[in-house]
Structures are given as structure tokens and as C-alpha cells.
Structure 1
Amino acid sequence: MLRRALALATMLVPVVAPAQQQALASWIALDAPVGLERRTTVPLIPALTRATGGSWQGDALGNLTLRKGSGLPRRVVACAIDRAGFAVTHITSTGMLRLHRVGNVAHPLWDQAHEGQQLEILTERGAVPAVSAIANGHFAQQHRKDSLVVTADDLWVDVGASSPADVAALGIRLLDPVQRRLDAFRYGDRTAGAQAGLRAGCAALVAAATGAVTTGETMFVISVQSAFGWPGVGGAVARSGFAPTEITLLANGRAERQQRWVRAGQFAAVNVGTFRAMRADSVRIVSPAVRHAGTLMESIGDADATWLLEAAAAAAGVSTPSSAAWVPVATRHRSSAALDAPMPGDPFATLTRSLAQLADLPGVPTHEWRVREAILAQLPAWARDRAVVDSVGNIIVSAGPARDTVVFMAHMDEVAYHVAAIVRDGTVSLRERGGVINSAWEGQPAVLHFPKAATGAPDTLMGVFVPRDSARVKNPRALTAWFGLDSAALVARGVRVGLGVTSPKVSVRLFGSRFTGRSMDDRAGSTALLMAVRTINPASLNHAVLFVWSVQEEGGLVGAQVVAASHGASTTRIYSIDTFVSSNTPLESPHFAFAPLGNGPVLRAIENGSISPPTVRAQVQRAAAAAGIPLQIGLTQGGTDGTTFTFFGAPNTGLSWPGRYSHTPAEVLDLRDLQRLARLIAAVAQQRPEK
């Protein structure tokens, strides 16, 4: 779905106080991959010209320059707009993309922070959503030797394609840039995003350029290709005929504020060739203080941004502008492609919207209330009237006469974290809930969720999953989060042990019928069960059926245990509606659990904790055949809610969809499988269980 234009709008965003915060976020969010910055910078010229009262000029590489004042001294003040990333270097026969890093990065976890995440390919036609493959969370045993930090050479990109032709249909070509699909965001008094300090330099430079140069002449430069040693500013100065007497570079953020003069060879980030091009003996380096420098979560505080503006203004020979001088720029909004207006004739439009509405809700174990309310609201009238919420929060809908009970159960919760402790500086230690893969959360945005509150009260708090400063092994032993506040402020906000912590999530439609979003396990199952209930006439049932949406499946099967204790002894069948974790990925061996996406739902016959009897499997197969539903059958790793019923004598059978990259932010499924799964559930529900 290519509805988002890559080219940036040239109008300024309406200023909403505080202007500094909005400006920082907008500059950090700009799409400007190294080497293709001109797509971003040239459209900015009209807006920047209006904002600063001067005529900005662009060159062939994408550098933007503005000269103000006259005489001596002659100053150059430059920032860098580019950002290191990746380029497509290979399109495989199965439609996967391979990458190579473009531009230098210093942090050892930069590449790994892109594994198992939503990405986007910046094509000439627009931004194409994708995910980076990661080993299935349920297959940890098979990957126990994969212990080293991930590099760019380990990354595989999944756009939902099955062939090179599919990739071409999306407009993807070799060398197209690839980046994390992530907006800048605020937490505490900070603005976070990749190379936040460097982009804050451009925001500060433009703010300084709104002022008048009091003595001499200043050349303001928004430069390109700083990742290659700042050749952009060198070329802009060399071709301008401007002979500077002093040069200031607003450089990458560091752990502490820094202003220093360096000579050629003394600062590795600036190539010696850049010095030669500018005919400079030395340059002033100005670096703001940032947290988590060099990561996707690099963040700059408001006070450090103000300091940076003051430093830029002093270097440019202008009086420090007021806070109103900050200039926000328009950026591309990364909305949910799953909730965009459907394409004409899209057979999955309704399913996509229903799934996204559930998938994008947080549902940390013990805090599933948002998902529960959404499911209750989407039930058909007859089911909503009969719905019961039990003592732990399960939803149970009963239908049919009281005999030969069959249970269908999906779960509402997702893998996540709970607050385990809060230390004095506000760092929050976390306890895993379910089989989370810590490497897929480290160095990503964090969201702390408060209990259901009165209308208008904030129910979330943004922060970051703190990345390690250095690492050789892939997985951190434990994760911490920081929300920009100390412990006293957190407690005052209502933060306490046991609250849930996740990361932001937005479901996205990939190519064709492929769909990605975190917590497909088990929002997809919950959606399929809802769809099935909508098609069933309860008066037509000749036996008892319980439709259950359970809580706390991840890490304990708590909700299922409560239902099994009440209904297990009278249940003849339990069908768990959950993921079939498929080895249909480039990172897994196909020797087991191989169920290709798009080939139909899966009868999950064997798993870690239970096995379905052949007679039950045969009955499901007959129901599928009668309804014309293609059915796969197999064995996979993991467990389901239905295991709790086996101790009461009810066989557990999984009715599933094949899914990739389980228990990670990159989970992928095929909507055709989910649509057919809903039909299969309805067919089995209306089939009298055989003795």
C-alpha cells in the first residue's frame, strides 16, 4: 500500500507551544538517508526562506546554504541532515531482501536494533512498509547458539512478497534505502530518535538563521553525507567562493556537552579532505549532551537544545533568538496502513480493520481491560447479551443446549513486561511476562500502562528500553526502562510494581494479503473467534458451545485454569485458537513446523504440552473438507490454553494460522489464513462432537 508520498511538504507545520519541542521532533523525524538527502532538502527551501527571511540555495548533492551579512569575519556554521541506514543489495528468489549498511555508525547495537522490527523501504514511489526477520520466540532451543550481536549481514527484510515479481510490483529496486519505521517521540523533557543530537543541530541552525547577523558575514549550511566525513559542507564551501575565517560544525551528540577546536586528523568524524576543500586549518566542533548516543533512542533534553541554539547563534554572530524562533518542518506521518481507507475491491478490508483495532491495543497480562472492552463491543447482540466476565477477567459466551460441551478459546494478553522495582534515579527494572526476546525490545521506545482511570486521566507514560553502552552477546540478561523522571516523580504519577510495560505498536498491511503487527499472538485468534461468532446462529446448535477469550495465557495459562476448573470435567473437546509458529522463514529449518503462509489454517496436532487424538483430527479435517477450506496439519513448539483442560480428560486441539517471527514486534500472518480459520471455527462449532 503506497499511499504515503516520500517527498516532504514544503509548508511549515502550524506552531503549537512549546515551539522548541515541536521543532526538535519534526527535524529528528525527517527522512533523509545518506546519499539521497536531496529528496528531503530541496522541498524545504520555500518554507525555510519564509521563516528566516533569506534566500536558501540548493546544490546538486542536496546541501542547502544561506548567506547573511557582509564583511569580516566570515563564518560558516553547518549542521548535517543525513542519517546512516541500509540499502537493498539483494532480492532473493522468495521475495526477501538482503541489506548492507550505508554510512558509518559507532554504536555496537545499531544493526541489531533493526532486527525483528517494522522497517520501511524508501522507494521513488513512496515508503513501503516491511519487517526485519527474527528467529521465532518459540524456537529458542534451536537458536541457543546464536549468541553474538546481530550485524547488517544477518538482516533479512520481509515485505510480504513471495517472489522478485512481487517486490518489483511494490516499486522496490536495488540500492533503495531502508530504515526503521519509527517517529520521533517525547518522554520526560526529552525528544528521542535516531541521531537526535545531529538533527537538533539543524533545528538550532535554522532557528539561529532567523536572526540578523550583527557583524561580518555568515554562511549557514544544512549539509549532506556527514556519515562519510562531512564532504557535503566541504563541497558547499569550496564551490561558493566564500573564504571563511572560522568554521563551526554542529556535530553528533555526546554524553556531555562539548565545544572544541580540532585540526585535520584530530577528529575522526571529519575527513581530512573536508578540511582541504574548505581550506581550513581547524574547525570548531559543537556537540550537545544526549542520552544513549548512537542508538535509535538517542535523546536530547530541552535544556541541551537551548544550549545548542545559544552556541549556534554565538558561532553565527547573531543575538540568541527567542524560543519562538524555532522552526518546525512538515514531516511524513507514519499512520497505520491497516486502518487507512481500503483499496477498492480489497477482499480483506473488513478483516484488516477488525484485526488492527484489536492488535493495536495493549494487553499486558493482568491488564487486559482495553482488549476485553473492545471484544465485548464487537460481539453480535446475542453473544453480548450472554457474555459473562468471570473473576479473573475471562470473557465467556455460552450457546446451545447443555450437553456435549465444546470450548473454543483464544487469549487476550500478549508478551510484555511488568515493573519489578524502581531505583532512585527513576530506572525501572522489568520482569518478563511470557517468552519475550529481550534483544527485540532493547533500545526501543517503551510505554508504561496505568490501570483504567477516570475519563481524561492519562493512561500511559512514554520512555525507552535502556540499551547497553557496549555489547558482544545478543541478548541482555535483563532489561530496564527509563521514563525521564526520578523515582519520586514516578511514584507521584502513580507508577508502582506490577504495572505493565510494552512498546508502541501500529499494525501495517504488507504486500497483498500479508499483515504485520505485534501481538498477532493472540489478537489474530481473538479476531478469528469474533468473526466465527458473528456467523453462528445459536439456535441452530445441537450441543453446548463455550466461546472464551482468556486472560494471562502468556507465562501461566492463568485464565484458562479458572475456566478448566469450572467446565473441564464436562467438556468433550477444547479447541485452542492460537498461532501455529511456522518455520516458513529464512531463519528456521523446515524440518518441522513447516506451514507456509497463505496455504490455509493449521490443525495444530502436537505441541509441547499436549497432543490431539487422531479421531478429533479426523473430525476437524472432515469439517474443513465439507466447507471447502484448505487445511494444513503439523507439530510446533509452545503451549496453548487448552492444555489446562487435558487434566480433566478433554483433548486439546489447536485451530491455528501459520505465523512468522512469534513473540516479537515483527509478527507476520496472511489474511487469507485468518479468514479461512474463522470459517473453520464456525464449521467445527456447528459439528456435533463424535464419541
Structure 2
Amino acid sequence: MQQAQMKKTLDDWLQTPGLSGHEGEMAEKVMAAFSAAGAEVWQDELMNVYAAVGPKQGRPLVMVSAHMDEIGMMVDRIDEDGFIFFSQIGGIDPRILPAQEVSVEGKKPLYGIIGLKPPHVTTVQERKKVLPINELAIDVGLDAEQVRALVSPGDRIHFDAPLHELSGRTVAGHTLDDRAGVLAMLEACLALREEKLSCRMVFVTSVQEEVGTRGAKVAAYGLQPDIAIAIDVTHGKTPDAPADLVFPLKNIVLTVGPNIHPKLVKEAQRIARQEKIDYEIEVEAHVTGTDADPLQISRTGIPTMLIELPLKYMHTTVETLDLKTVKDSAKLLHAIATALGKDWEAKLCF
């Protein structure tokens, strides 16, 4: 996929609602994209999307997982002046909310803004305070009767923020975590459709990762893969971040730690060097907080690894990454798939 097409696809996906538990509209677009890429596509009861390439009885069966859901909000109540109060879905930092543009998905989409009392009428102490979410409200410009005719408690609210192109290969948007990972899987699927694989690759676009990696749990239990690979984001370098927790945007990141099968990630490093794919190593001594966590411990256990895309400003409306890492992740997935032969079990044996 050319860079322009990658940006076009991401822009479309970023403007498609897909809050955790409400991924249906996004799932339809993902199914169409993987079907057009030549994959066998299906969906489960939780709304995970599966896209398979390679022989149906191929071994090993490799599950690759990236999540399509996004953080957002839900309507709690409407006050007597028509202001909409809300709760969060997933990990939202309340510091980013004032002055955000949102779309309230009622009987029809309503554009709204999250307002904040101006500094002219606040005290010094008020200006130092980060308002909790339950003290913020959305203004859609209508009175209470008009709002209540269109909006009900439980309606979804998502950020209204398109993809922005920065210089070179860098883009910014509000749900690159983890729709950039889904794009990497699509890119790998496109590259693999002409290959004569001995393995079976199943790309899973998972749901509800932001509220507990639920989709990946269901998918892994049902598929019973021999190998699992999660794709998600990690923290990119910014001037104010601890140097040992962040990575340059231009290189993919391979994680090591107890959540990761040591021989699998070593084999991935070998393949990356062979393919001249630049990568960094992230040491994660506990859980990774990604789909890799439930994949590893599904049923009797699955050899699991994690590929990460460095992303600046995670869980904001201006998440920023380098499209090179999407390409490199896809290239690594392609190389791993074509390298898996009859000796795969021996290579991964502890």
C-alpha cells in the first residue's frame, strides 16, 4: 500500500466511531478491507473480525491481534439547561478534555464542545485544579427539551478529530492506538495473499481492548492458535518523558519479559536483522497491558510475542506516529509467516 493510500485509509478509520463495546461500524469497514485483500473473513458474537490467509489445515496456526476499539464517553444525564454530563469508556486523562470537539451519537449525530469556565471569572486556586470528568459537560447549543428529544443516557460520545498530516511520514489523530496496528495487519495480509504458506495466519481485529483485552481472550480461546503475536503501541520520545520508557518514532519495538516467549522473540529479532528492519527492545518486567496478556495464558498457554509502534501523546486526540513503523511491522509479519516451516515446534521448545 502506498503512503497516500495508508493515510486515506487511516483518515477514514479515525473518523469511524468504534468505542469499546460499540465497534460495529468499524468492524464493517475492517471486514470489507480484509475481504478486498483476499482473506477469508468472518466475525464472532463479540464482534471480533477474523481474516485468514494460508491453507486451512496449515501449521502452525498463527493468531495476530490488534484492537479496533477506541476510548470515548457515554451520556450520563442532561441538566435543566441542556448541558450533557458524561462518563468515560477506557482510560481518558481529564486534562485533555476542556475545549475538545466531540460528536454525540443520539438519534442523529450532534456536534458538541466540552466547555470550561474562562480564566477571567475563576480564582487562582480554580485555575490550578484539573476538573474531574463528572464536573465537565458538553454543550451542543440546544436547550434541555431539544437535547432530551435527541439524546438519551447511554448514548455514545466520541472525539471529533480527523487525521492530520505532519511533515514527512508522520501523522496525528485520536485513535491511532490501535488502528495503526490494524493497518499493519492489513498491509501484511496484502503481502501474504500471493505467498504459498505452510502456516495458517489469522489476523484478528479485536474488540474491547481498552476495557480489559476482552476480545483477544475470546478469540484466542476459540482459535486455539499455536503461536500468537499482538500488535499495539508504546510510548514515543517527547522532551518531558522519562528516557528509559520511550522510543524513537522511526523504529518498531519488540518486547521482552515474562509475558513474552523468549525463543519466539529471539527468532523475531533474527528475522528482523535478516530483513534489515530497525527495531528497539522494550523490557517489560510485568504484564504488557496489551492483547499479549490474555493470549499468553489462553487454555494451556500460547507462545506469544508483542510488536509495538512508538506513539507520542497516547490517549489524546493528537496521537502521533511514523508510518514507517506500520510498514516495518507488516514486513516483519510477512517474513515471520514465510519463515515458519515444519521445524517450528523445535525452534520454540523451552
Shorter-chain TM-score above 0.5:
yes
Q: Provide Cα deviations, 1:549-608, integer angstroms capped at 9, x if missing partner.
A: 0111112222222213323xx3232211110223x1011010x2332111x2111334xx
Amino acid in structure 1 at the alignment position of 2:10? L
2:171 is the counterpart of 1:525? no
**In 2, Cα distance between the equivalents of 1:507 and 1:397?**
25
More divergent stretch after superposition (415-424 vs 483-492): 483-492
Q: Which digits, 9 at most, give the CA deviation of each residue in 1:20-74, with x for residues without a partner? A: xxxxxxxxxxxxxxxxxxxxxxxxxxxxxxxxxxxxxxxxxxxxxxxxxxxxxxx
Unpaired runs of 5+ residues, structure 2, are none
Letter in 1 for 2:113: V
The one of 626, 647, 651 aligned to 2:297: 647
In 1: Cα distance, 2:274 partner to 2:293 partner: 28
Task: For 1:624, give the aligned amino acid.
Answer: A
User: 1:523-548: per-residue Cα shift (whole Å, max 9, x none)?
Assistant: 11111111111111376221232110
Query: Which of 269, 287, 309 lines up with 1:621 in the alignment?
Result: 269
Equivalence for 1:217: none
Match of 1:595 among 238, 247, 264: 247
Q: How far, CA to CA, are the matches of 2:168 and 2:231 in structure 1?
A: 24
Which residue does 2:322 correspond to in 1?
Answer: 670
How far apart, in 2, do the equivalents of 1:504 and 1:611 lie?
Answer: 35
Report how far residue 490 of structure 1 moved. Answer: 2.9
Higher relative contact order (CA 8 A, sep 6+): 2
Structure 1 residue identity aligned to 2:215? G
Name the CA distance, whole Å, in 1 between partners of 2:3 and 2:211: 32
The aligned counterpart of 1:376 is: 31
Q: Is the CA contact (8 Å cut-off) linking 1:439 and 1:476 kept in structure 2?
A: yes
Residue matched to 2:139:
482
> 5 Å matches for 1:110-509?
348-381=3-36, 383-384=38-39, 386-399=40-53, 400=55, 401-450=57-106, 459-468=108-117, 470=122, 471-478=126-133, 479-493=136-150, 495-509=151-165
Tell whether 2:333 aligns with 1:681: yes
Question: CA 1:657–1:482 in 2, change beyond 3 Å: closer, same or farther?
Answer: same
1:380–1:533 contact (8 Å) kept in structure 2: no
Retained in 1: the 8 A contact 2:37–2:189?
Answer: no
CA contact (8 A) 1:593 1:635 kept: no
In structure 2, what is the equivalent of residue 579 of structure 1?
233
Distance 2:193 2:158 in 1: 38
User: Is the Cα–Cα contact under 8 Å of residues 402 and 543 in structure 1 kept in the other structure?
Assistant: yes
1:593-632 deviations in Å (ceiling 9; x for gaps): 332111x2111334xxx62122111111122123221122
Q: How far did 1:486 drift?
A: 4.1
Q: Structure 2 counterpart of 1:533, which letter?
A: C
Task: List gaps (5 residues or longer) in structure 1.
Answer: 1-346, 451-457
Secondary structure at the residue paired with 1:443?
coil
The answer to whether the aligner puts 1:537 opposite 2:193 as a matched pair is yes
TM-score, length of structure 1 as denominator length: 0.45
Tell me if structure 1 keeps the 8 A contact 2:37–2:186: no
Q: Number of paired residues?
A: 329
Report if the CA contact (8 A) 2:74-2:154 is conserved. yes
Q: Which one-letter code corresponds to 2:112 in the other structure?
A: G
User: Counterpart in 1 of 2:283?
Assistant: 635
Normalising by structure 2, what TM-score? 0.86
Distance 1:538 1:475 in 2: 53
What SS does the corresponding residue of 1:561 show, helix, strand or coil? helix
Q: Check whether the contact 2:199–2:337 (CA below 8 A) recurs between aligned residues.
A: no
Please give the root-mean-square deviation of Cα atoms over the aligned residues, in Å: 2.4
- Higher gyration radius (CA): 1
Partner deviation per Cα, 1:311-335 (whole Å, 9 max, x = no partner): xxxxxxxxxxxxxxxxxxxxxxxxx
* Equivalent-residue separation in structure 1 for 2:338 and 2:131 (angstroms): 48
Indicate the percent of aligned positions where both proteins have the same amino acid. 28
